[in-house]
Chain A
Amino acid sequence: MSLRTDQALIAEWIKPGSRALDLGCGDGTLMAHLQQHQEVKGYGLEIDEENIVQCIHKGVDVIQTDLDKGLSEFKKDTFDYVIMTQTLQAIRYPDKLLKEMTRVGREAIVTFPNMGHWKNRIQLALAGHMPKSKTLPYEWYNTPNIHLCTLTDFENLCGANNIEILDRATVDHEHQSSLGMKLFPNLLGEIAIYRFRQND
């Protein structure tokens, strides 16, 4: 049960003993890690039945939830962190869900594939087709990723909603980071990781 690099980065950002909610928690790997190694308490939300069984197997409390229906189950500031890895782009109303995340959690963390990565830009600009990569392996007609964005797009949305970005990191599809990515994140980073909160 080893963590992906984006998950490992997130784990580093999360204070031990805190309360977390993991949206689209998959098989529960991140929550199980946070529970076992950082005494984090909380729940995973997941829609897929097989993943739910895997969460139960790992001892992660999991609630079957359709994230498109929002987080109305939860009161304001119920969690220290609301986490969502690699799911934002598949959400029907990402702007509303981001607001919900910052309502339910004091801080929120998301990771998403960066549409602004140079390989994606070249595929569209020069080859003239929708980008495909290891991070974005689907065809345009069968992709669950209906709301892809770039780092710039994401930061613009945060700005418009008075969301303060607390941390930013980028990694490649093997979840490694590099100096280039730090210098030109929107061009060289394949996966973006943000920590943010709502300012009043």
Chain B
Amino acid sequence: MKILKTAIALICLSLPAYAAVPIQKVTSPGGITAWLVEEHDIPFTALEIEFRGGTSLDAEGKRGATNLMAAMLEEGTGDMDAQAFAAARDTLAADIDFSSNKDMVSVSARFLTENRDQGADLLHSALVAPSFNESAITRIKAQIISGIRSSNQDPEHIARQAMASLVFGNHPYGSDDSGTEESVAALTADDLRDAHAAALARDRVYVAASGDITPEDLGKLLDRVLGDLPATGAPMPADTTLDDKGSTTVVDFPTPQSVVSFLQPGLDVQDPDFMAAYVVSEIVGGSRFTARLMDELRSKRGLTYGAYSNMVTMDHANFMSGHFASDNDKVAEAVQVTRDVWADVAENGVTQEELDAAKTYMTGAYPLRFDGNGPIASILVGMQVQGFDIDYPKTRNQLINALTLEDVNRVAKKLYNPDALRFVIAGQPEGMDQN
């Protein structure tokens, strides 16, 4: 699931800003920077904060600590317990959500203009001084363990997790960042304080805001919310390397429909060939019905409800991955068709017609993402995380339009490798050989 989330984040920020939206860079008096789109029509502000590192900063033997720590941030601070915190937040009609994934701990907030300062104070307390109260830890652990048990019976999670384990092994990307029942049960308040110190620091924070706030007020808010965090946190995890050994793995699970996850090495988002690869990926595995996988598996053969693949750029790994679900008696054929699509792209690339259609789609879809304070703040923080320049939105469509068929097919033939494809199938597929 976490891989999927990262994939979605990538798609959002790879279709970045509407050129007409002016993005300002704001630096607070205390030296914290943020990107801002001012929009005073509606009296609220959307705020997005990301801390790089995420659950991959879990200490040895403490799998699930960062995930639990992030979940605990709304469970009490100072003299407020969980119920008092929720009541304070709801009295302000503020939204404050904490979450985590393998690369980030994330905060997503909305504050009404009329009580924004109080909302900021509440967020500050939650981030800087969480209580990690014992009874709350017990309560949230029980929820997380329930979630782990459910995931372990979910064929989609089983397939994705088996793939992650196969590809990333002992790297944090290889294990479920919720932890195991045992690892979560063993976590203590001290472990959470360690995870908090490791993950939430000013040297790894990215901030974006959109809405009814001036640069001056945002500067003050940044210092108010984040100024008391420590300057530095834990060192970042190591990068991974992916091999190009293909494989097929079946994880036996009694369910009428198999879930298929597939993967091969990809490209870094800052690689000069990335944009060409991204366009090819849209042609092969995008959600349009004309995309190759969707057309071959669904429209032509009725083998699945939907088949997708995309470029995934995580902080320490780059790959292409895809997924679909297909009834047990049809999944072998669906896997073969996927291989055939991959082999055809590797050998023949894409057509001029496909490239033209993908270009008009991708450049036309570009402004449509910028349709509200919430989405704009999310896109802006994602751009910073991925290392894009603040002016990138103005050039992004030109980069796509400048790609020639020769460019994209050179990259397609270099990148797509049917022999490097790994498949994991969770279910009871008929007629499927493993290797």
Judge: A and B partners, yes or no: no
A residues at B contact (CB < 8 Å): none
